[in-house]
Structure 1
Amino acid sequence: MNGPIRRVAVVGAGLVGSGWAIVFARAGLDVAIFDESEAIRAAVLDRIAASLDDMRGAGLVADPQPILGRLRVAASLEEAVGEADYVQESVFERVEAKRAISLAIDAVMRPEAVVGSSSSGIPASAFTEECRNRARFLVVHPVNPPHLVPLVELVPAPWTDPELLPWLRGEMARTGQAPIVVNREIEGFILNRLQGALLNEAWALFEDGYASAADIDLTVSHGLGLRWSFMGPFETIDLNAPGGIDDYARRLGPLYHSIARSRTDPHPWSDDLAARAAEERRRALPLKDLPERSAWRDRRLIALAVHRRSQDS
């Protein structure tokens, strides 16, 4: 049985990897960061420091310095991974890239270490089969940015040691994340299958001219999203009928079945359709302003995290 995680390696130091580094260092763990890009390695601590300053301003962290003090940038993969209890891999979302880095980690990891991949939809069985320590590999998929949105999906490969799941669920909860277990592999896992269902309907409504992209966004941000920020779909409908969830199913099940049957021939998101949506979005937000708007999103997530913390307490 694994003991508590004390030393972490973060492999891949982009937006997701740097967010993971904050998660682990904020929880008091020692974190070694490695990225194959020298430029990314040189910039990652400054990016993390800027995020921590925003979090300090909102009261999410008291002092960034102890967190930064638990972070170091490693010069090689072996230096980062060799002593780690847990490795969080966050490289490019392509099977070949995942397979290559998994084999590289496998060659230098401790046999008792555990490796989680930040894969968004590629199952671990697609890239860990050839690893000698493959029983210690699984998908550990966060939401971006992981230091502000706590959900984590734990998805084992068929050969993942099943005893790792309850242990890692507890360790992720100890770092402040909200882990769920996906009992077996499925493309897209849970989060992206739910998100995909909404996205596919949003694209279809937009393509058919029922509403603008802005009004579809407004429907979620000022409608569905308000409840979904603190409860899920099953609890939502349980509270939306006098007799609870089974009453709701009787009342509205036929409507949702009819809606589902109307989408039995889904279309791919065509280039023309994406161009139409992009034209509307670029009128609302020029491409050069995307980074500023992303920073605004993170500040809003920080404010929401502060509010949720106050309500939980």
Structure 2
Amino acid sequence: MHELDSLTQGRPIAIVGAGLVGAGWALVFARAGLAVRIYDANPAISNASIPLIERQIADLTEFGLLSESAESILARLTVCDTLQQAVNGAAYVQESILERTDVKRALMLELDAIAGPDLIIGSSTSGIPASAFASELSISSRVIIAHPVNPPYLVPVVEIVPSPDTSSSVIAFTAALMEAVGQSVVHVRKEVPGFVLNRLQAVLLREAWALVEEGVATCEDIDKTVRDGLGWRWSFMGPFETIDLNAVGGVADYAQRLGPLYRGIADSRSHTEEWSPELIKTVEDQRRGFLAFDELEKRRAWRDRQLMAFSAQRRKDDQR
């Protein structure tokens, strides 16, 4: 807690947007020992966030992933009725509202009018650069992207993406804060749509959809290829380390041997077409054959518990 106290000077964290991502962020900060204020423009969403977090805490407790009681963590959470109440005196705001530039711009205008002179604002946006919604404001130098993977309290990576206006001190603060609350920080050095994570995911998804469209493989066989193949290695190492270990001479050897194959695959694709309604229906029909629509929420809960089991094992491995 000493490092966090030094960073935040004992001030709270504000969560603006209390859906699945926002509630997950609230748990990240509260679990780390920080006071958290939660606000959503829709009071029903704000009020639903606490029961959601209670369920998440119960599961985390079962897997031995918390070092203190549920009551202690929940006591740090406060639901606020107004944006002003949430951000007043806060050290940092984590915004997780609708993924639309105009909606985020409207919030930034509100924050510009009420934010204290040193309030730092992080956005959970999945791919919209901060310069698209936070430019030409008094707060512009204090706005930065802090993009998590959902749910952030289970998957630790967070992309830190400054705009050209973001100050170096804000970059340093946000990275230090995220590391102090247990996240794994990726520094994205310049603004690109989709940042790093979703650009990587986009390439895999684009090829997956194309393989279904061409009748090469079904959704389930493609999922098996990742789930029972690539994902086994990717669960504990990244693509560059993977190929570095997959050739006797390391990454340079791998590139020499298999570079032409990958170039040929890339040249065979233009990827200029959008996913057609017919293709989307094909994929939807295949997925619903494996998982009925009314089972989605149950399966999400199963996913989270799988991530908890994986997290518990990773902790044990890291301690060896």
Q: TM-score, normalised by structure 2?
A: 0.95
Picking from 214, 229, 234, the partner of 2:220 is 214
Partner SS, residue 187 of structure 1 = coil
Describe how 1:23-34 pairs up with structure 2 within 5 A: 23-34=28-39
- The aligned amino acid for 1:228 is W
Match of 1:199 in 2: 205
Describe how 1:202-281 pairs up with structure 2 within 5 A: 202-281=208-287
Match of 2:40 in 1: 35
Runs of at least 5 residues in structure 2 that lack an aligned partner in the other structure = none
Partner SS, residue 138 of structure 1 = strand
Once the 2 structures are TM-superposed, how far is the Cα of residue 291 of structure 1 from its aligned partner?
A: 0.5
Picking from 76, 81, 84, the partner of 2:82 is 76
Q: Does 1:125 align with 2:136?
A: no
Once the 2 structures are TM-superposed, how far is the Cα of residue 90 of structure 1 from its aligned partner?
A: 0.3
Instruction: Provide the C-alpha distance between the structure 1 equivalents of 2:37 and 2:201, rounded to a whole number of angstroms.
Output: 32
Instruction: Provide the C-alpha distance between the structure 2 equivalents of 1:140 and 1:41, rounded to a whole number of angstroms.
Output: 21
Describe how 1:166-181 pairs up with structure 2 within 5 A: 166-181=172-187
Alignment check: 8 A CA contact 1:142 1:153 kept: yes
Match of 2:63 in 1: 58
Q: Does 1:163 align with 2:154?
A: no
Picking from 38, 49, 54, the partner of 1:49 is 54
Match of 1:87 in 2: 93
Instruction: Provide the C-alpha distance between the structure 2 equivalents of 1:44 and 1:27, rounded to a whole number of angstroms.
Output: 18
Partner SS, residue 81 of structure 2 = coil
Higher deviation after alignment, 82-91 or 35-44? 35-44
Identity level (%)? 50
- The aligned amino acid for 1:34 is Y
Shift of the 92–265 alpha-carbon distance from structure 1 to 2, 3 Å rule, reads closer
Partner SS, residue 180 of structure 1 = strand
Q: Does 1:96 align with 2:102?
A: yes
Partner SS, residue 44 of structure 2 = helix
Picking from 280, 296, 305, the partner of 2:311 is 305
Alignment check: 8 A CA contact 1:138 1:156 kept: yes
Alignment check: 8 A CA contact 2:22 2:96 kept: yes
Runs of at least 5 residues in structure 1 that lack an aligned partner in the other structure = none
- The aligned amino acid for 1:269 is W
Partner SS, residue 10 of structure 1 = strand
Alignment check: 8 A CA contact 1:103 1:130 kept: no
Match of 2:23 in 1: 18
> How many residues in Structure 1 have an aligned counterpart in Structure 2?
312
Partner SS, residue 7 of structure 2 = coil
Instruction: Provide the C-alpha distance between the structure 1 equivalents of 2:267 and 2:172, rounded to a whole number of angstroms.
Output: 38
Instruction: Provide the C-alpha distance between the structure 1 equivalents of 2:259 and 2:192, rounded to a whole number of angstroms.
Output: 25
- The aligned amino acid for 2:7 is P
Match of 1:142 in 2: 148
The runs of at least 4 aligned residues of structure 1 exceeding 4 Å deviation read none
Q: TM-score, normalised by structure 1?
A: 0.98
Partner SS, residue 151 of structure 2 = coil
Alignment check: 8 A CA contact 2:144 2:171 kept: no
Deviations 1:234-263 (A, max 9, x none): 100011111111111111111101101111
Once the 2 structures are TM-superposed, how far is the Cα of residue 266 of structure 1 from its aligned partner?
A: 3.2
Match of 1:8 in 2: 13
Alignment check: 8 A CA contact 1:165 1:181 kept: no
Higher deviation after alignment, 261-270 or 46-55? 261-270
